[in-house]
Structure 1
Amino acid sequence: MIIPAYNAMPELTRSVTSAMEQTLGPDLIEIIAVDDGSTDGTGDELERLARTCPALHVVHQENSGCAGGPRNTGLDRARGDYVFFLDSDDYLGPDALRRMVAMADENGTDVVLGRIASVGGRAVPRAVFSHNQPRTDIFSSHAYLTLGPWKLFRRSLIERLRLRFPPYRNCEDKPFTAAAYLNASGVSVVADYDCYYVRYRENRGNLTLTASGLAHRVDGIRLCFETVARYLEPGPRRDQIMRRHVEWELCGPLRGLLPRESERDARERFFPVFRDLARTWVTDPIVERIDAPDRLLVHLLRADRFEDVLTVARGAKEDAGRGHLVDKGRVYWLHPFFRDHTADVPDACFDITDRLPVHHHLDTARWRGGVLRLTGRAAIEGIDAVDATEPGTELVLRKYEADRPEIRVPAVPRPDVTSGFTVEIDPATVDGGVPLERGLWNLYLDVRAQGVTRTVRFGGSREGGAATRPPRRAVTTPRGEPVVVVPYFTPYGNLSLDVGEVAHAARDAREAPCLVTRTAWHGARKSVLIVGGRLTGGFPRTGAGAGTGLRLRAESGAGAVREVAARFEPGASGDFTARLPVGRLTAGRWTLTLIVEGRSVVVPCLGRLAGTRWFRFGRPYYAKPLTRRSAPALALEVAPVRVAAGVRRRMRRARARARARMGR
């Protein structure tokens, strides 16, 4: 734990105390607090706290003028397996480090993000913390949107890369975190606990506020782009990551900060830097993906049009609400430069068609016999349907990671509800008169108005009866074959269908992508279930299963989902092991399956898997396997131990044994 501190009173005390009181235990934590030349008593307070905590080590140094200096001092002295940076303005949740370290240990990840909570209105990231992610990466999650240093880093990664913070007063943390992300073997996200609390100081003395000008940011901004280019080859992956910096470090400061600078500094000192960044790093694919205001700025930067950039930046707030024009199925932002021949800006810079929000709700999802009936509402923001003959909303079914045509089901309008619709899915006939293929199907809405079409994932916003997912339903195909359809909500809350309980269809192991060979409780951690197996002839073993995305999924009866990534053994054997932290599951019944390439494989209960017990927050919990012939997948019942009831049972047994002895 590294805590940089400069004139940090009075917030410092709570910050350091939150580190000292971590449930991980003082014997497992090394706290290095670096007093960066403070003059307000920060150094004395650190020494006072150190006298009460042997784990706290205080370093005093001359003022470096930035947060990176004391952080680097701490890194030079750190000896633990992991490093966590705690700013002296902020504080930790009591169980934060234990949860993050456990996540890193169990999944072999190099960076762990703990959920960030706001104190006093300071902005915090939210998208990445929608659900726990035991193992992910920056390309398939929202992790890269948060580049603050308040994360758990594996120290061997930092030392291997020789990472240190540059001596900038602002934006010094972003290149450091970006480099760690781009080289990490994996990223974990703890989303079910408030790990880190960010706040502004009472005197508003945070560096993010006192060093907010472009003079303090421009070097860090340039280094962000150079860091990405250093570790990623040109192509889609680099463009995906660069887009974040184009939006946040290029266009954002141009709009918000450039107009505040003097005319001379803006023209001669800062504009050339942003112009060169746009010309060097912003590719055409990035331009196509960013929003219209950013597209306009990038176009003007590339064209070396300083006056127009300044005009657009100064009018950004007013121009954002200027409305739009629908023309031939496309929607354009009515900025003053739009179709002004003197401005000479292409229409593509103002096209907002693919950015228009779609407001949609899933109201109900219920079975009617063998037909799944969905009701909901959907409309494109700002675009009203004016032609009754125009095709309306359609439901689109797309098979997960499968190269096959999508299925479209027309929705029937609900005259009594604005933008309301009803759609019915008959799994036995919906695919052109034939049953849905076995597998996982994701549901989308194709919403249309005035020739404009927007397609969105469906189910993430729902109300009323749809809050509980419909039960699994056995459907009979036209050939008389029974097929089980399981509606479920994904971790992001969207509606999907598991048709045929895919795992059950693969009764022959030669057809299944993988085979389970072991289920057992971890010897040292009683609340961790180990599921082992191997890839079979039903899946290519090239690269020891690399790229298969094999995951062990636990799904509760309420629709909650917990997934962990499997690890493959070296070589090309295809042997894998997945470790499920059952101790973190909520009380209830959880069914286990393996997901590989969009296919689901049953996890059977092999041998005689016994129950297990562990302590959670000082309370005993248990998990025991539940197996039924009608549901061959392994299911676990997780619940707290009813201590009082157990004591009463033992007392009754003791009395019964005593009576039996007396009766002899």
Structure 2
Amino acid sequence: MPIKVSVVVPVYNPGVYVEDCIDSLLRQSLPPDEYEVIFVDDGSTDDTPARLDALAAAEPRVTVLHQENSGWSGKPRNVGIDTARGEYVMFVDNDDHLGDEALERMYDYGTAHGADVVVGKMAGKGRGVPVELFRRNHPRATVENAPLIDSLTPHKMFRRAFLDDIGLRFPEGPRRLEDHVFVTEAYLRAANVSVLSDYVCYYHVRRDDASNAGFQRFDPGGYFKNLREALDVVEQYTEPGPLRDRLFRRWLRVEMVERMRARRLLALPADYRRELFGEMHQVVVERFGPGVAAGLQPTQQVVAALMAADRYDDVEAFAEWEAGIALTAVPERVAWEDGTLRVGFSAEYTSAAEPMTFVAGTPRTPLDGPPEDLAAAIAWVSADTAARFGQATADLLVRERASAAQYFQPVEFTREEVPAGDDGRVRLVLHATAAVDPAALTRAGVWDALVRVRLGGWTKECRLGPAPRGARPTPSAALAGGHVVLPYWTSPHAHLALDVDRATGRLGLGALSLDEVTASGDRLRIPLPSTSPATAPRPPCASPPPTAP
């Protein structure tokens, strides 16, 4: 039987964290004779080499290669590519793991759409992963019609012949961002990239001791030297203009501006902050024209302008102001309707624990150079954000607590401008109703309800709640989508969560009245509250989310 997928796992001293990776690879729904697993041990000094050798002796689909330490993951991945026999090559890190059907689903999706690259939905356990990219399936994605550039880790499936035809391999040796160089070129040269979003394929895991390679402090000079190499790839395969600016914007936004914002900056040692800032300033003035920063959100534009002007102290002051901004979401209605759980809520931003207010009625004006001072920066952000109120969005996601798998739920929302005093300032309140489909709750466990709001330069999430005790809706359990689903309020914070298939043992008895309980001798008879939805929702996985054109 031809090998469909070769899974390449670079390995260096993972210890016990490799076990979840191994287990997930052996549980794959793809038949064992249709995929292979290649562990490339990069000079581990723990017990991992012996563990992997024993595994390979017992499992015909597993191969283990040993080499001297190369300093990073690039060379082990390249050795894996050269050894691979599969039609596709999938890269997995030794402390991460796959969904049980990941290889089968990604391979089938990729071959169905002739993809050179297949990007599977990711979940982050203590690690950030792209969110907007996985809002829906993209069978034919490009860097122009989908936010592909937001996902530059190598944890994807690549057609082996494509890699060989264009001679694509990872940069080797001790370095950073080798995956950015590799994945960016793959995106720009692929005939097609397919994004599979209706199943969590890859679980990106932060170790309990935060010892993952990507969490170690990096040398700013070396890091931004490697970042320039990724920019070189963009320059090689694009022409000057809006597309190149938009791609460059990803590195300005993610690798520079976001590192200089709010608590993320303030948590760093003071001397390290300044060292990072100095390297970022050099890249900005050397490589980015005005069109790159112009496409950022208001708060990001301020940081980028201050960075270009080499004004670190003002960046720090702006970060201290932003650190006080948070999202709040208040539940207003939770009830079963026709097989779905209808969740009503309102959401708004706060600053220093008070509702955030904005200057209303001011037309948008471009940021003409760096703001004069902190007050000017805040005033411009306030006015520009108010002018963008019509772009504010609200979403509700359900996230499984143990695995971090999450899914967007359909939401309808309105925007309300609420006067906030006599000086013309207003608050923006989003009123929303979400329809939670039990079919999205694909496994037993506790699923938390999270609200996500995009406004101006902020995209923040928060748990839905707390719900005031006196006005707290108490819907019963329902048998829906093949699952028993019980909405409940967590203790002590009163956030909305969904118990699927009695993961917590809750019975939902809080809404019973005393006259519903009967006693007979030493026994009590209590009716279990439940709802039988009028329209049963579709079974899990019967229909994927909407597909992008």
Query: Into which bin does the TM-score normalised by the smaller protein fall?
Result: 0.5 to 0.7
SS in structure 1 of the partner of residue 39 of structure 2: strand
SS in structure 1 of the partner of residue 22 of structure 2: helix
SS in structure 2 of the partner of residue 58 of structure 1: strand
- 1:100 is displaced (CA, Å) by 0.8
Distance 2:543 2:316 in 1: 57
User: Given residue 93 of structure 2, which amino acid in structure 1 is its aligned partner?
Assistant: D
Matching residue of 2:73: 67
Matching residue of 2:88: 82
SS in structure 1 of the partner of residue 227 of structure 2: helix
User: Which of residues 265, 288, 292 in structure 2 aligns to 1:286?
Assistant: 292
Judge conservation of contact 2:24–2:97 (CA < 8 Å) in 1: yes
Return closer, same or farther for 1:381/1:152 CA change in 2, 3 Å cut-off.
Answer: farther
Return closer, same or farther for 1:79/1:291 CA change in 2, 3 Å cut-off.
Answer: same
Matching residue of 1:199: 205
User: Which of residues 374, 379, 384 in structure 1 aligns to 2:415?
Assistant: 379
Matching residue of 1:661: none
User: Which of residues 556, 580, 586 in structure 1 aligns to 2:542?
Assistant: 586
Return closer, same or farther for 1:24/1:260 CA change in 2, 3 Å cut-off.
Answer: same
Judge conservation of contact 2:38–2:64 (CA < 8 Å) in 1: yes
Distance 2:372 2:358 in 1: 11
Residues 22-171 of structure 1 correspond to what in structure 2 (within 5 A)? Answer: 22-119=28-125, 121-159=126-164, 160-171=166-177
Return closer, same or farther for 1:93/1:327 CA change in 2, 3 Å cut-off.
Answer: closer
SS in structure 1 of the partner of residue 260 of structure 2: helix
- 1:112 is displaced (CA, Å) by 0.8
User: Which of residues 376, 380, 385 in structure 2 aligns to 1:352?
Assistant: 385
Do residues 19 (structure 1) and 25 (structure 2) align?
A: yes
- 1:50 is displaced (CA, Å) by 0.1
User: Which of residues 264, 268, 291 in structure 2 aligns to 1:260?
Assistant: 268
SS in structure 2 of the partner of residue 101 of structure 1: helix
Matching residue of 1:657: none
Which whole-Å deviations, capped at 9, do the CAs of 1:42-97 have from their partners, x for residues lacking one? Answer: 00010011011122111112222322232222223224321111111111122211
Distance 1:76 1:83 in 2: 10
Which whole-Å deviations, capped at 9, do the CAs of 1:138-176 have from their partners, x for residues lacking one? Answer: 221233212111110112332314331343554332222
Do residues 226 (structure 1) and 232 (structure 2) align?
A: yes
Judge conservation of contact 1:115–1:195 (CA < 8 Å) in 2: yes
Distance 1:130 1:300 in 2: 33
Which whole-Å deviations, capped at 9, do the CAs of 1:533-575 have from their partners, x for residues lacking one? Answer: xxxxxxxxxxxxxxxxxxxxxxxx9999xxxxxxxxxxxxxxx
User: Given residue 282 of structure 1, which amino acid in structure 2 is its aligned partner?
Assistant: F
Distance 1:76 1:173 in 2: 17
Distance 1:148 1:79 in 2: 23
- 1:251 is displaced (CA, Å) by 0.9
Judge conservation of contact 1:360–1:379 (CA < 8 Å) in 2: no
Q: Structure 2 length as normaliser, TM-score?
A: 0.61
Judge conservation of contact 2:38–2:62 (CA < 8 Å) in 1: yes
Return closer, same or farther for 1:161/1:194 CA change in 2, 3 Å cut-off.
Answer: same
Which whole-Å deviations, capped at 9, do the CAs of 1:112-147 have from their partners, x for residues lacking one? Answer: 11122344x433322222222222222212332121
Judge conservation of contact 1:168–1:216 (CA < 8 Å) in 2: no
Judge conservation of contact 1:200–1:206 (CA < 8 Å) in 2: yes
Residues 333-412 of structure 1 correspond to what in structure 2 (within 5 A)? Answer: 340=373, 347=380, 351-356=384-389, 358=392, 378-380=414-416
User: Given residue 586 of structure 1, which amino acid in structure 2 is its aligned partner?
Assistant: A
Judge conservation of contact 1:358–1:380 (CA < 8 Å) in 2: no
Name structure 1 gaps, 5 residues minimum.
362-375, 388-416, 421-452, 454-556, 561-583, 589-593, 597-664
- Which has the higher relative contact order, 1 or 2, with Cα contacts under 8 A spaced 6 or more apart? 2
Distance 1:586 1:191 in 2: 14
Distance 1:18 1:419 in 2: 41
- 1:346 is displaced (CA, Å) by 10
- 1:288 is displaced (CA, Å) by 2.8
SS in structure 1 of the partner of residue 89 of structure 2: strand
Distance 2:377 2:95 in 1: 48
SS in structure 2 of the partner of residue 228 of structure 1: helix
Matching residue of 1:190: 196
Matching residue of 1:305: 311
Judge conservation of contact 2:89–2:160 (CA < 8 Å) in 1: yes
User: Which of residues 4, 8, 13 in structure 2 aligns to 1:7?
Assistant: 13
Distance 2:91 2:210 in 1: 21
Judge conservation of contact 1:174–1:220 (CA < 8 Å) in 2: no
Higher-Rg member (1/2):
1
Distance 1:42 1:384 in 2: 61
Distance 2:430 2:252 in 1: 39
Return closer, same or farther for 1:360/1:261 CA change in 2, 3 Å cut-off.
Answer: closer
Distance 1:298 1:118 in 2: 27
Distance 2:536 2:106 in 1: 26
Which whole-Å deviations, capped at 9, do the CAs of 1:461-500 have from their partners, x for residues lacking one? Answer: xxxxxxxxxxxxxxxxxxxxxxxxxxxxxxxxxxxxxxxx
User: Given residue 205 of structure 1, which amino acid in structure 2 is its aligned partner?
Assistant: S
Judge conservation of contact 1:168–1:217 (CA < 8 Å) in 2: no
Residues 562-641 of structure 1 correspond to what in structure 2 (within 5 A)? Answer: 586=542
Distance 2:431 2:100 in 1: 47
Q: Structure 1 length as normaliser, TM-score?
A: 0.51
Judge conservation of contact 2:358–2:385 (CA < 8 Å) in 1: no
Judge conservation of contact 1:148–1:173 (CA < 8 Å) in 2: yes
Matching residue of 2:340: none
User: Given residue 306 of structure 2, which amino acid in structure 1 is its aligned partner?
Assistant: L
SS in structure 1 of the partner of residue 105 of structure 2: helix
Matching residue of 1:615: none
Matching residue of 1:510: none
Structure 1 residues 161-170 or 229-238, which shifts more?
A: 161-170
User: Given residue 414 of structure 2, which amino acid in structure 1 is its aligned partner?
Assistant: A
Judge conservation of contact 1:36–1:62 (CA < 8 Å) in 2: yes
Do residues 326 (structure 1) and 326 (structure 2) align?
A: no
Return closer, same or farther for 1:62/1:558 CA change in 2, 3 Å cut-off.
Answer: same
Judge conservation of contact 2:88–2:157 (CA < 8 Å) in 1: yes
- 1:328 is displaced (CA, Å) by 4.0
Distance 1:298 1:595 in 2: 32
Matching residue of 1:236: 242
User: Given residue 213 of structure 2, which amino acid in structure 1 is its aligned partner?
Assistant: L
SS in structure 2 of the partner of residue 379 of structure 1: strand
Return closer, same or farther for 1:346/1:175 CA change in 2, 3 Å cut-off.
Answer: farther
Judge conservation of contact 2:318–2:374 (CA < 8 Å) in 1: no
RMSD of aligned C-alpha atoms? 4.6
Return closer, same or farther for 1:190/1:149 CA change in 2, 3 Å cut-off.
Answer: same
Distance 1:383 1:64 in 2: 61
Aligned residue pair count: 395
Matching residue of 1:479: none
